[in-house]
Structure 1
Amino acid sequence: MPDPMTLGGAALAAYLSKDGVSKLLGPTAEYLGGEMKSLVEKSQSNIVSVFKKAEKKCGEKIETSGTVNARVMKHVYDEARFSDDELLAEYFGGVLASARTVDGVDDRGVYYSQIVKSMSSYQIRCHYFFYYLMWFHSKDLKLNLHDDADRAKLALVVPASCYEETFSTVPNQSEMPYVAHSLSGLAKADLISNNFALQNSEDMKKKGIEVDEFAFLIYPTITGLELFIWVHGQGDIGFPAFSSSTLAEEPDIEIKSISKTRLKGS
């Protein structure tokens, strides 16, 4: 199959209407119809990017019969075609992959697609950043994430320099407005616990945390964990997917200085 991102307008529309998308969405693909052909090339490219990411996240399951719930597809389609942010495309692609079932009845993806739709790019990257690190540091732990005590073991300590290196913040330009926006927004959406902290080393020591610079302290939530699982195409598996060593083995962003980060209890 040729890479759809290299195809021209007419060929791109043909790909969308009858090839990869039909395999991914099943009968739900009929909803796209002629409307897709009238979209501008940029929005076509954006939605193709999401569909291709969804196919990849489906893995071998893409070769089995299945369909995506029409309501889920509508929410993703309406929003994703107007954004060329790569991480946002990964999130919407993961929701589509998770929503693909044998009968297309499962509409939980409506909820998760609405969460993603409501998030800014800064909030999305912070959500991924924090939960990837929680996953990375907990792969060898046997946790029951339905249990409050076990979930609390994922509390994460991240030096501010790790954030700055990962997102290449501009020297002498305050990042705090973006950080505050991201943390408060994630907490309001119940994607992180509202008892998060970003404090200096002295204040962190009062919490029993030894660091030598400003650091984040982030606690997970059920919703935040579920979203991370869903955007990796594993919504049908649920919490056990978070314990899989392969869930995010190819990270969607390159996180720098991971060795500086740790779980609070380690």
Structure 2
Amino acid sequence: MIESESVLAGMVAQTLLKSVVGDGYKYVKGLAINKAREGNLFQIFTKAREKIEDVDDGKSVPPKIIAKVINEGSWAADELNQDYYAGILASSRTDEGTDDSGIYYLNLLERLSVYQIKFHYLFYKSLKEKITIYNQINRDDYYESIHSVSERNLIKKDKVLPIQFDELYIQQKLGLTSMDRERFSINYEKIITTLINERLIANNSTRDGIPYNEDGLTPTAIGLDFFLWINGLPLIKRDSFLTDDVVIDDMESFKTGITFRQVLDELKEKTINEIEKLKLVLINSYKGNMPRLLPMTESENRTVANYDHKIKTISKLR
């Protein structure tokens, strides 16, 4: 069953393992494994080390986590899959080396396919990038040059929370071949359904304590926690994800490529459409539920004018 030398055969591998798992190294010393799986593990531990701020902090990884990463992670040939194992490994380092909370996320990872993992990453990384750009759009210094501070937040944060993906865009981001694209297209709905069943994303009927919108897929508490863990950030609070204080770098194995312009244009379109709907309701009905029989009042005319002003203001954003 053992086809070649130990995963710890070289000095480089020994040093790498010790720096990541700390005292947990004693549980894997002398372990033998075949070369293909050895290469996968080397990638996982290398990626894990890159996520650790200080490898000399004396922290260590529980043996249950180490065993699961070696037994299951060694089969992970996909780079992003390896990044997920690496993130959970790095997130499992503690002073005592006894907190094995990462077992839950390793079990979750084991149930996901490569495409499901990539969709999860694309979803939450895109969300983080959208929120970061949203925060930039709504800063005082950006707005002062265009309109008064009182007109900030015309574009609301809940507009960035639903994520709507074009299937072709996802296929391009996943780097699929023409043959893979056909298979992916057939299984696209199944991928989303599985992630919803695992509570990693939500549809429009699920709130799960996360800001909610009726349009598109939304994040969940478990999905966000999982994303923070695979990025080596297990102690970050969920609310902090919405701020600029938490910076999540691109994984080299996967880049979303979302731009400021894309987010701004999407926010503008959603906000203007929402205002237009409110305006039409006011013009065509009385108190939103009865057909209008009388002319609009002066107050209602001022409201319509205010809607037009907001639409004009938002349209000017560049």
Normalization by structure 2: what TM-score? 0.64
Structure 1's unaligned 5+ residue stretches are 1-7, 143-149, 197-206, 210-216
Tell me if structure 2 keeps the 8 A contact 1:130–1:156: yes
Alignment-derived partner of residue 176 in structure 1: 185
Larger-gyration structure (1/2): 2
Percent same amino acid among aligned pairs?
23
1:74-113 equivalences in 2 (<5 Å): 74-113=67-106
Tell me if structure 2 keeps the 8 A contact 1:153–1:265: no
Moved more, 238-247 or 9-18: 9-18
CA shift in 2, pair 1:152/1:105, >3 Å = farther
CA shift in 2, pair 1:129/1:265, >3 Å = same
Matched, 1:40 2:34: yes
Structure 2 Cα separation of the partners of residues 108 and 227 of structure 1: 11
Q: 1:116 aligns with which of 87, 109, 112?
A: 109
Structure 2 Cα separation of the partners of residues 151 and 62 of structure 1: 39
CA shift in 2, pair 1:137/1:43, >3 Å = same
Matched, 1:236 2:235: yes
Displacement of 1:29 in angstroms is 1.1
Structure 2 Cα separation of the partners of residues 188 and 152 of structure 1: 24
Tell me if structure 1 keeps the 8 A contact 2:199–2:222: yes
Q: Deviations over 1:218-259 (max 9, x none)?
A: 210001001110000011234235644521245541325655
Tell me if structure 1 keeps the 8 A contact 2:24–2:62: yes
1:63-212 equivalences in 2 (<5 Å): 63-139=56-132, 154-169=161-176, 170=178, 173=182, 175-195=184-204
Structure 1 segments of 4 or more deviating over 4 A? 8-12, 150-153, 256-266
Structure 2 Cα separation of the partners of residues 133 and 179 of structure 1: 18
Matched, 1:49 2:40: no
Tell me if structure 2 keeps the 8 A contact 1:139–1:245: no
Report which structure shows greater RCO (CA 8 Å, sep ≥6).
1
Give me the CA root mean square deviation.
Answer: 3.1
Structure 2 Cα separation of the partners of residues 111 and 242 of structure 1: 24
Moved more, 179-188 or 94-103: 179-188
CA shift in 2, pair 1:106/1:242, >3 Å = farther
Displacement of 1:15 in angstroms is 3.7
CA shift in 2, pair 1:164/1:78, >3 Å = same
Structure 2 Cα separation of the partners of residues 48 and 73 of structure 1: 13
Displacement of 1:156 in angstroms is 1.4
CA shift in 2, pair 1:226/1:265, >3 Å = farther
Structure 2 Cα separation of the partners of residues 13 and 229 of structure 1: 33
Q: 2:27 aligns with which of 27, 31, 34?
A: 31
Alignment-derived partner of residue 19 in structure 1: 15
Tell me if structure 2 keeps the 8 A contact 1:241–1:247: no
Tell me if structure 2 keeps the 8 A contact 1:9–1:41: yes
Tell me if structure 2 keeps the 8 A contact 1:158–1:260: no
Tell me if structure 1 keeps the 8 A contact 2:18–2:25: yes
CA shift in 2, pair 1:223/1:208, >3 Å = closer
